[in-house]
Structure 1
């Protein structure tokens, strides 16, 4: 698989990385299957694993911890905090480390920061950014990150306020049409040396009929790597095949593909950019 620089960290990763949200019972993946899938991924050169304490109430982290075993030094773990305070974030990190069976993670990420008000809370005197700085100084984490699905202006403001090492953002082909991280965020992130990890490649499965082109679209962007949620060995092998055979989309291919999927650009489909996820009736106001 093609490898790319991970921002200014000095590391490189394959274009395909592992989204661990789905190696859980909720997605009909048993613990035994999860361990097999994770180790198969490592065997095939995937080393970047993204998880979070909220994924099935910690089961995603637990299964990664059990899967890595004596291969811990072969992998890069990114986990998250949805807390916006220092103390709350420290508690989440300590719980994550126990589930992951490790004394440190390579990357700790602010989870789904969607508004400027959230950003202000994070940067308040007792905000989450304080916990992240402290954890890095203590060697409990190596890199500080942020993620966002909804409004690229929030993540732009974040990287102007603080030297984040990376950002996980929604860059599916359907995201191209509204509040586009590809258009609004990637250029400045790349200029600052912020590693960009792509997510939502299949739009919660709605781009599955265009599986290969959906992955190719995001791989073709100027990102460092992209995480894809995996819940079966079949999905892993399919993703590996697309990544190995990857050729960047040219302008005509991209245009033809975007014309095919343009009808999906609605708040009912792109719920992460809707005012209300559950209703999906109108776009978020920014």
Structure 2
């Protein structure tokens, strides 16, 4: 097993982390087997949340803690924003996990500035976490969110969190480019541990799992956390780490060009289509489309299972209002395209840019029909 420094905490985490959400899908006996096998293989980072099945995931993790607690870096999450709620959530989590301390408490899914302000305010959740830290009930404090990372960037600028948890995969790299371009450098500067979640984009990249995991493990992160609910999946994930070779820049570019999930629709934010003679900020509009629905509704007819998966995932992160507000603030919008087609001839990924602008405008302007 490979290990990396967990920021400035002094901990070292196994590169593969075990996420607890999908333990909800399997019986306790199988959950125990998977966790025991992962820990016996050298894995040492187990993460769950109070909200996963209203404590069910924590209870299943707690079943293996008696035998493995000292070798395990144990993390859970609280969705409470105030001090009393956070402390109550923590006490219940400790009971569920059958331990008197956790190594990391994560402020869960902090998606708005209002949530962050509540957490950081007097009588906020951070106050309770700091008190619990003084009492020896938690070792470190982290924060997480999904999708567009403005709140996480603001959080690290306001408080020295020990860890930040964020979505990183080769698909969402182009929907939320600020994660790799801004958040990761800021975390590195502040020596904050980065917990990578969703390496296969909530399941979208399941056909390309080897490439997706290799890309994820090649990022400058402390641990790659993935949900595991079968023995075959656990063995595959362990092998990705055992046989890991860093991805070169040339290999990354080949992946970006050829990945079937990106195809000839998802904008790679290379800016080679610019400048636009009509003054349309093409990459900016496509970035907002990424915020809106991860560029998943693309006008392509797919089989029922693929359509259902993408339709389930497209609004997964709830950034639609923000995306539409940003689009509304633009002086020149997509509907001012002259259909000259010069941008498409410059796109190295074969995107029909005028068509994509029409689709983006339909989404972001809230139009009733495309």
TM-score of the two chains, using structure 1 as the length reference: 0.93
Residue 93 of structure 1 and its aligned partner are, at CA, apart by 0.5
Match of 2:279 in 1: none
Q: Specify which of 315, 319, 324 is matched with residue 275 of structure 1.
A: 319
Match of 2:88 in 1: 91
**CA distance in structure 2 between the aligned counterparts of 1:195 and 1:3, rounded to whole angstroms:** 13
**CA distance in structure 2 between the aligned counterparts of 1:5 and 1:90, rounded to whole angstroms:** 28
Per-residue CA deviation, residues 100-150 of structure 1 (Å, 9 max, x unaligned), is 001110000100111111111111212111111111111110001000112
* Gap change, CA 1:270 and 1:248, over 3 Å in 2: farther
Instruction: Give yes or no for the alignment of 1:136 onto 2:133.
Output: yes
Q: Specify which of 182, 187, 190 is matched with residue 189 of structure 1.
A: 187
Tell me which moved more, 9-18 or 91-100: 9-18
The unaligned stretches of length 5 or more in structure 2 are: 267-293, 297-310, 327-370
Match of 1:157 in 2: 154
Per-residue CA deviation, residues 71-126 of structure 1 (Å, 9 max, x unaligned), is 21111111011011001111111110110001110000100111111111111212
Tell me, what secondary structure is at the counterpart of 1:198?
strand
Per-residue CA deviation, residues 227-266 of structure 1 (Å, 9 max, x unaligned), is 0100111110010011111111112221222232324642
Does the aligned pair in 1 maintain the 2:3–2:13 contact within 8 Å? Answer: yes
If asked which structure has higher relative contact order (CA below 8 Å, sep 6+), I would say 1
Match of 2:21 in 1: 21
Tell me which moved more, 100-109 or 3-12: 3-12
* Gap change, CA 1:258 and 1:11, over 3 Å in 2: same
**CA distance in structure 2 between the aligned counterparts of 1:4 and 1:271, rounded to whole angstroms:** 33
Match of 2:351 in 1: none
**CA distance in structure 2 between the aligned counterparts of 1:222 and 1:36, rounded to whole angstroms:** 30
Per-residue CA deviation, residues 198-219 of structure 1 (Å, 9 max, x unaligned), is 0011111110010011111111
Residue 284 of structure 1 and its aligned partner are, at CA, apart by 6.9
TM-score of the two chains, using structure 2 as the length reference: 0.72
Match of 1:214 in 2: 212
Does the aligned pair in 2 maintain the 1:274–1:283 contact within 8 Å? Answer: no
Match of 2:295 in 1: 266
Residue 282 of structure 1 and its aligned partner are, at CA, apart by 8.8
**CA distance in structure 1 between the aligned counterparts of 2:23 and 2:215, rounded to whole angstroms:** 25
**CA distance in structure 2 between the aligned counterparts of 1:270 and 1:234, rounded to whole angstroms:** 28
* Gap change, CA 1:270 and 1:224, over 3 Å in 2: farther
More strand by share: 1
Match of 2:196 in 1: 198
Match of 2:239 in 1: 241
* Gap change, CA 1:191 and 1:284, over 3 Å in 2: farther
- Bigger Cα Rg: 2
The unaligned stretches of length 5 or more in structure 1 are: none
Report the count of equivalent residues.
279
Does the aligned pair in 2 maintain the 1:115–1:151 contact within 8 Å? Answer: no
Does the aligned pair in 2 maintain the 1:13–1:225 contact within 8 Å? Answer: yes
Match of 1:62 in 2: 59
**CA distance in structure 1 between the aligned counterparts of 2:136 and 2:154, rounded to whole angstroms:** 27
Q: Specify which of 170, 176, 179 is matched with residue 179 of structure 1.
A: 176
Tell me, what secondary structure is at the counterpart of 2:75?
strand
Does the aligned pair in 2 maintain the 1:39–1:68 contact within 8 Å? Answer: no
Does the aligned pair in 2 maintain the 1:198–1:225 contact within 8 Å? Answer: yes
Does the aligned pair in 2 maintain the 1:16–1:243 contact within 8 Å? Answer: yes
**CA distance in structure 2 between the aligned counterparts of 1:98 and 1:266, rounded to whole angstroms:** 42
Tell me, what secondary structure is at the counterpart of 2:239?
helix
Tell me, what secondary structure is at the counterpart of 1:185?
helix
**CA distance in structure 2 between the aligned counterparts of 1:216 and 1:170, rounded to whole angstroms:** 15
CA RMSD of aligned residues (A): 1.7
Per-residue CA deviation, residues 143-201 of structure 1 (Å, 9 max, x unaligned), is 01000112212111111111111111111111200223122200010110000010011
**CA distance in structure 1 between the aligned counterparts of 2:194 and 2:82, rounded to whole angstroms:** 24
